[in-house]
Structure 1
Amino acid sequence: MGKSRFLGEFEQYVLLAILRLSEQAYGTTIRQVLFDVIQRDVSIGALYTTLTRLEEKGLISSRLGEATAERGGRAKKYFVVTGEGKRALNDTRRSLDAMWRDVKLSFVGVSK
């Protein structure tokens, strides 16, 4: 992996969305999962910028599907998380879990 062995928040969300979608992970479906699960409305441009960066880092790979008439003859670009991407997710999760260990948050005046 590049400079850092830990992922940023949005990178984690995108990788997890791809894993959730399995064989159906392409731009529109990834964007929909982000909205449905974490209520984050992401522009398709911002999503593809992140997807490109993750692919350049070797954390995901892509393939083109068949061209379809409903897309004006364009093919969908499908994404899959690589082994390196899974390792990066796992390393990031372990580091966050370690940082949260023994942390107690108190909320004065806030009901549970």
Structure 2
Amino acid sequence: MGREALGEFEHQVLLAILQLGGSAYSAPIVREIEQRGGKTVAPAAVYIALRRLERRGLLRSSKAEPAPYEGGRGRRTFEITPAAMDKLRDSRRTLESMWEGLDSLFQEP
């Protein structure tokens, strides 16, 4: 797995997959990130992040059967691995520790 930290967008991709039940293909992941983040996400950026996370062992993928209509393509589904869960837990602990004591700096006037 390595010690390489997760980037912000990688976090969003992994958390979107968890929100979708731990396994999803790219289109719902894009929608989940857009809905929760409130901004447009390029599908290509998600696809690149999915492949990078898979190479790092944080996701595994499988190809589903093609759609039943002519020219239908099989979707590649991505699933969270135990290594990803460990990374997310560690990252959350680190961020919570770093934020500790700073709440007063971010209160609305």
Q: Normalising by the residue count of structure 1, what TM-score does the alignment of the two structures yield?
A: 0.86
1:57 paired residue number: 56
Q: CA distance change for structure 1 residues 3 and 23 in 2, over 3 Å: closer, same or farther?
A: closer
Post-superposition offset of 1:43: 1.1
Post-superposition offset of 1:72: 2.5
Tell me if 1:36 matches 2:35: yes
Deviations 1:82-105 (A, max 9, x none): 000000001000000000111231
Where does the alignment leave 5 or more consecutive residues of structure 2 unmatched? none
CA distance in structure 1 between the aligned counterparts of 2:90 and 2:51, rounded to whole angstroms = 21
CA distance in structure 2 between the aligned counterparts of 1:71 and 1:19, rounded to whole angstroms = 32
Query: 16-25 or 34-43, which moves further after superposition?
Result: 16-25
CA distance in structure 2 between the aligned counterparts of 1:31 and 1:100, rounded to whole angstroms = 28
Identity among equivalent positions (%) equals: 38
CA distance in structure 2 between the aligned counterparts of 1:72 and 1:40, rounded to whole angstroms = 32
1:105 paired residue number: 105
After superposition, residues 60-99 of structure 1 pair within 5 angstroms as 60-69=59-68, 72-99=71-98
Determine helix, strand or coil for the equivalent of 2:20.
helix
Deviations 1:56-101 (A, max 9, x none): 0000111111101458221011111100000000100000000011
| Number of residue pairs aligned between Structure 1 and Structure 2 | 108
CA distance in structure 2 between the aligned counterparts of 1:46 and 1:8, rounded to whole angstroms = 13
1:2 paired residue number: 2
Q: CA RMSD in A?
A: 1.9
Query: 14-23 or 87-96, which moves further after superposition?
Result: 14-23
The one-letter code of the counterpart of 2:35 is D
